[in-house]
Amino acid sequence: MNANENRTLRLQRVIRAPVERVFEAWTVPEQVAQWWGPEYAEIPEYSLDVRPGGKWYTVMKLPDGSLPRVSGEFRAVEKNKRLVFTWAWQQDDGSRGHETEVTVTFEPVGKHTRLTLVQALFVETVHRDRHGEGWTSTFKSLEQYLAAA
């Protein structure tokens, strides 16, 4: 495994909803706010401009009361197929930290959707692993949202 592979996160999950519904959950701002982030997070503030060059940001409220902010820009939007966006946490001084790129693909599997997420390149594998935990919990939030909708 090369150094770049070590700093790349790859996750895949089959979501029990059709591609169109899953893609909509990722691209309609009011829907994103219902499930985005780990299961224990709330999203009190967000903005989502889903188009190439469009900016996005969310504020996550965590159980300890902290309010981490993350933002980026959409690089590609292919309806019901693929989203590509940048990702960077806001630092204490208001600047953006290390930027990674997230690619999410949506593939029909019968009546369900194979969701694949690739995020790269992380500075260190520990950051990759933390994001893996966060995205895994976020996928659970998405599944719960779609099951209830």
Q: What is the pLDDT of residue 63?
A: 96
HSE toward the beta carbon, residue 38, CA cutoff 13 A: 12
Q: What's the number of domains the chain is made of?
A: 1
Residue identified by tokens 């780990």 is 38
Query: At 67, which CATH number?
Result: 3.30.530.20
Q: Is pLDDT above 60 for 15?
A: yes
pLDDT band at residue 3 using 50, 70 and 90 as cut-offs: low
Residues 20-39: tens digit of each pLDDT: 999 999 999 999 999 999 99
Read off the pLDDT of residues 100-138 as tens digits, 9 standing for 90 and up.
999 999 999 999 999 999 999 999 999 999 999 999 999
Whole-number pLDDT of residue 38: 94
pTM of the model: 0.95
Q: What pLDDT score was predicted for residue 122?
A: 97
| Residue closest to 44 by CA, chosen among 33, 52, 54, 35 | 33
* Helix axes 19-27 and 125-148, enclosed angle (nearest 10): 110
Give the number of C-alpha atoms closer than 13 A to the C-alpha of residue 91, restricted to the C-beta side. 6
Query: Any idea how long the chain is?
Result: 149
Closest CA to 83 of 119, 59, 134: 119
SS3 at position 137: helix
Contact between 74 and 85 (Cβ < 8 Å): yes
Pairing of strands 82-89, 100-109: antiparallel
SS3 33: helix
Rounded to whole angstroms, the Cα distance separating 26 from 101 reads 16
- Domain of residue 79 covers 3-148
pLDDT digits (tens, 9 = 90+) for 45-103: 999 999 999 999 999 999 999 999 999 999 999 999 999 999 999 999 999 999 999 99
pLDDT band at 4 (very low <50, low <70, confident <90, very high): confident
pLDDT value of residue 1: 56
